[in-house]
Amino acid sequence: MSETDNGADPRTAPPLRPAPPTRRGMLAAGAGVGAAALLGATGAATAAQAAPATWAAATPATATATAVTVAAPAPADLTPYASYWFPDTLPQGAPGPGITWRSLKQWTPESDPDLAHNTATAPLAPRFTPVPPNASARTGQARIASLVSFGPTARNPSQGSATADYYALTHWAYIDELVFWGGSSGEGIVLAPNAPVVDAAHRAGVRVLGNVFLPPVVYGGDLQWTRDLVQQDALGRFPIAEKLVQVARTYGFDGWFVNAETDGGDSSLAARMREFLRALRAAGAPHGLRTTWYDAMNSTGRVGWQGALNQLNQEFFEDRAGTVADTMFVDFRWTPQTLAASGALADRLGRSRHELWAALDVESNGWNSSIRWDAIVPRDSDHVVSYGFYRPEWTRNHLADRSPGAFHRADDRFWTGESLDPAHPAPEGSWRAPATAVADRSTVTALPFACAFNTGHGERWYDGGRVTSDTPWNHLGLQDRLPGRRWVVETTGRRPSVALDFGRAWRGGSSLLVTGGLTAPTAIGLHATRLPLTGSTVLELVHATEAGALTVEVGVATREPAVPGEPVPYTWLKTQAQRSGPGGWRTSRVALASLAGRTAYGLAVRITARGSRAVAWRLGAVSVRDDTARRRPASPSALTVDASAQQDGKASVRLSWRRAVGPVRHYELYRLLPDGTRRFLGGTCGTALHLAAVVRADRERSAAFEVRAVDELYAASAPAATTLAWT
């Protein structure tokens, strides 16, 4: 695999969207290049991604403010970025603009100025596998790894940015492991995932791995970095393995993907690499950390991609002493024969064949990629191995229109298939959508539960149906636990359009929109659940009818289908309107006392048109809770301006606070404007946030901020407050 800068010198490379060579084109150039073009598009970040802003510009939308022209100088950059290192030895020369060379061996938590901004806090949620909605999806067989580049190696903002143009993946239900992809010889080759990605993945029960990338020599790789990685101290310990475990535990992610593609080694180096992997796994396993090995270096110490698990590389997966790596990513050179042999070898080694990821390159062509699916996930027999998508963010990168709605339409098609309904797949063509092969999973197992259909990015921020910020944004850590099956629709009439929409929202940046002519009652599956129901359990919907007239019912399943492919057997309950809100939003409530003592296995809504007019109906939120006295979450404390830089009425600010006592979903930061309005600035699961551009309003003497804790039902605490004096 290749590096993010495609071999270009980062000090001279053009800054905006170079056209990288594709992996397939580089492979066609000959075996000397090998798999070395694989990270191509990472360096093609948009200007918005590469910009130093982290995510909420704080110019008030409703207050009068001092005018600031586009050409106004910005204050000093205090933006925290995702961390990256070299194992020990740094490159010769000087780093390019915006790049910092760091030694992982020298890293300590105490010396990390961005630690609070890069630490994930959401625990890895346990998840279960419901009965699949179609007969072809398998339970307990193939799984999916996803190798994703969310941004450049250097200057990848720690906590989102002020753009909605972002790979805000939501189909976590089909993913087992996500690799935070990137690295380059000119920037750094050990990457730690940023906190928003980890927090979103953990809510969905998905592990996130950092990336250790030892690049090919043709792309600036230096064998000294491999030697640094596997160096031993006087006691035979592997200090870099210990550092990798310390980083993962400190930052809150789940292990490492190790990709050794620098050629020139020998069998002695290979033996040390094997022992390094064993030490890395042994140190990480007590903490739930995992190691994935990429099929590149083999037992000779040379790089020779096998496209298989075989005698040349099995010692990096399993040797006579036991497990070396938890999983192996099998190079793209696989054939049906080599995958079959790989699975058989894994069986003989006493390992699961589904711990092998067969690489699928979708970077260039997405669902138009030519893939021999039957070699991995045949329809008429057991799955051969698991598979790993390389660069599925194609669903965003290939679009001319990269608006959030356009992205999610493409991403839904990639994961669900052309029908956009996993229970009713379209006739299969060349693309075998993951939803038709791999069973979905869910983490919705406890009360209270709520979902506002927030995808983790948007054009505005809504709170209670009102716009509280008109700044585009992305921050995956604020993403809800979205329905895993999108979208299962049951009707005897015409199927309406069902999609995540960004035109309006109740909370966050998006809502669920249903549009079309309803010629029969239409049921829309939401979450697969394992929720215990009591005599006081209630379900609430926040919804709005924008066109047509309709009735709304709630579906609760108290058992699962008998076999895959059967519809979920919902019990349908009428809703009762409770109250109205701004913009036509209303809250409807259903008491579930009649189901007390049972378990809710699934949630759905059913809408029926009253009349022949086409309907447009939004679902802004769904929640299930026990109807007992509710308390606001405890407040955070000690909101503090840690650092600031001001220039011409604009400030870059770092703030932090002390965590609230008790359960907290996330924190939200607001600015209090001179006219009394509150403007949303950003949110995070952690206890620190950076504001890139706070603009002075009128002639205010100080900018006032407040932070609140938000719980699982989106109730907000009383605020902690502070101010920044203007100079």
Sign, CA torsion 385/390/393/395: negative
Structure tokens at 663: 């359960």
> Any bridge partners for residue 356, and if so which?
328
Query: For each successive 10 residues of the chain (727 residues), what is the average pLDDT?
Result: 38 30 32 30 33 39 32 68 98 96 98 97 98 96 98 96 98 98 97 98 98 97 98 97 98 98 98 98 98 98 97 97 98 98 98 98 98 97 98 98 98 97 93 97 98 98 97 98 97 97 98 97 98 97 96 97 96 88 92 97 97 94 92 96 96 98 97 96 98 94 98 97 97
Burial class (CB in 10 A: 0-12, 13-18, 19+), 348: exposed
Under DSSP, the state recorded for 713 is T
| DSSP symbols for 566-625 | SPP-EEEEE-EEEEE-GGG-EEEEEE-GGGTTSEEEEEEEEEEESSSS-EEEEEEEEEEE
Contact (Cβ atoms closer than 8 angstroms) between residue 642 and residue 113? no
**Cα gap 684→477, rounded to integer Å:** 6
∠ CA(493), CA(529), CA(411), 5° rounding? Answer: 60
> Any bridge partners for residue 27, and if so which?
none
Provide the pLDDT for residue 629. 76
The HSE-up count of residue 410 (CA atoms within 13 Å, CB side) is: 23
By DSSP bridging, strand 255-260 and strand 290-294 are: parallel
HEC states along 409-473?
HHHHHHHHCCCCCCCCCCCCCCCCCHHHCECCCECCCCCCEEECCCCCEECCEEECCEEEECCCE
**Cα gap 261→537, rounded to integer Å:** 55
**Residue tagged 């090919």 (tokens):** 216
Provide the pLDDT for residue 73. 53
**Cα gap 562→601, rounded to integer Å:** 13
Other CB atoms within 10 Å distance of the CB of residue 7: 24
**Cβ within 8 Å of residue 369, ≥6 positions away:** 360, 361, 362, 431
**Cα gap 200→538, rounded to integer Å:** 26
Angle between helices 267-284 and 239-251 in degrees, nearest 10: 40
**CB burial readout 94-108, b (16+ within 10 A) else e:** ebbeebebbebbebe
Under DSSP, the state recorded for 718 is P
Provide the pLDDT for residue 74. 54
Global confidence as pTM: 0.91
**Cα gap 457→34, rounded to integer Å:** 37
Provide the pLDDT for residue 392. 98
How far is CA 486 from each of CA 230, 420, 424, 527, rounded to the nearest angstrom? 45, 7, 11, 10
Q: Which of 121, 107, 280, 259 is nearest to 179 (CA)?
A: 259
Q: Which amino acid is at 551?
A: T
Contact (Cβ atoms closer than 8 angstroms) between residue 719 and residue 229? no
The HSE-up count of residue 677 (CA atoms within 13 Å, CB side) is: 17
Provide the pLDDT for residue 139. 96
Provide the pLDDT for residue 596. 97
**Cα gap 79→519, rounded to integer Å:** 53
Q: Which of 395, 260, 263 is nearest to 331 (CA)?
A: 260
Q: Which of 402, 397, 527, 509 is nearest to 456 (CA)?
A: 509
